[in-house]
Amino acid sequence: MLEGNEAIFLNLMSVAITAFVIVTILISAIIPLIKNNLNSFGFIARKRTLWLLATAPWWIALCCVVIFFPRQDTNNLIALMEKIAHWHHIDVFKFTSWHGLTLVVAALILAVMINLMFVQVRRHSIAMHNLFKFSDVQPISCDNNQTIYSIALSIPAAFTIGLLKPRVYLTTGLLQQLEPSALDIIIQHELAHVRARDPLFKSIYSFFCLLYPKPIRRILQQHFTLLTEQQADSVVTGYHDNLDVAQTLISVAKKQRQFPHSCEGSLVSHFSHDQITLRVQKLLSPQSQISELTLVFTGLCFLTAMLFTVLLVDGLHHLIETYFIH
């Protein structure tokens, strides 16, 4: 048994883990209901909403720790927080209690998930290393101090890869089949990924989605990938007509149908692999706008989820202690 600051720290870790699980279940139940409405959001609002959804278990768990943290002061705000939620014997921790079991199970699950993530990243890195090692890679042009590379592959593809120093690659199969104007559309699209550092942020986003159930994780990652691709498409429309960009998307997608997908993963941003129909619709249709009331409602939903989690953590804690030894 531990007492004092060490016990407080471990109990607060138990609070955070309990809150994390509750929010993960809550968000997992909500996402299938709202996924079709996310595309109606503008780019900025959608990006913020997706980041809030992915990180909700983390920041709500942190908020719960702040609320349950023991304080000596007795001002009105702290008194209100203690009425909402409090943790008996927070300065005492028993490893044989449910708090200890919570920490052990969480540590094991986290270790397994992180190991799986590193295995996936390692496999991807080896595949890309072998691809570049056994293929002829040559610089073909320089645009705004960003070198464009060609890679000797028959698959018509364009992609951006690299976390800290992203690079744009076009395959010879693509270079040989497209007109200069279409190639410029593709290059500007990929350069938009470079400037936005999309491979890096896609990787970070995938990490935050790691502990969601696989179907929910897939939905979140697909929506985030679609967002990055649509934003890059939007940048290109500053240089080319929307219809030309859409036509290039369709043309490249048709050429890729006869080839297996390659270079998959969150570390890569492709030109024409992801949700072509929705991207073309976005290019050809006016920008949809949502009301400020919808955005306010979305924010209130997140605040409600946080308050609900705090109350449920507190209630679950007291319920378990009613039937089990602390």
DSSP string, 164-211: SS-EEEEEHHHHTTS-HHHHHHHHHHHHHHHHHTHHHHHHHHHHHTTT
- With a CB cutoff of 8 Å and minimum separation 6, the contacts of 38 are 46, 49, 50, 223
Beta bridge partners of 167: 161
* Pairwise CA distance, residues 157 & 286, whole Å: 28
Model pLDDT, residue 47:
92
* Pairwise CA distance, residues 303 & 150, whole Å: 49
Model pLDDT, residue 255:
82
Whether 52 and 302 have beta carbons less than 8 Å apart is answered as yes
CA distances from 198 to 78, 103, 212, 272 (A): 42, 34, 21, 15
Q: What DSSP character marks residue 163?
A: S
Model pLDDT, residue 16:
87
CA angle (291, 292, 298) in 5-degree steps: 100
Model pLDDT, residue 233:
92
Model pLDDT, residue 73:
59
* Pairwise CA distance, residues 326 & 319, whole Å: 11
Reading the block at residue 80, the tokens are: 């209100």
State pTM to two decimals: 0.83
- With a CB cutoff of 8 Å and minimum separation 6, the contacts of 180 are none
Whether 315 and 321 have beta carbons less than 8 Å apart is answered as no
**Average pLDDT along the chain, 326 residues, taken 10 residues at a time:** 77 86 90 84 88 92 82 55 60 73 86 84 78 76 78 86 87 88 92 92 91 92 93 92 92 77 53 75 74 69 78 68 58
Write down the residue that tokens 């297996």 correspond to.
260
Model pLDDT, residue 10:
83
Model pLDDT, residue 288:
61
* Pairwise CA distance, residues 60 & 26, whole Å: 12
Model pLDDT, residue 54:
93
For 149, left (φ over 0), alpha (ψ -120 to 50), or beta? beta
Model pLDDT, residue 261:
54
Model pLDDT, residue 132:
74
Tell me which H or E stretch contains 272: none
Beta bridge partners of 169: 149, 159
Model pLDDT, residue 141:
76
Whether 271 and 250 have beta carbons less than 8 Å apart is answered as no
Whether 252 and 244 have beta carbons less than 8 Å apart is answered as no
Model pLDDT, residue 318:
61
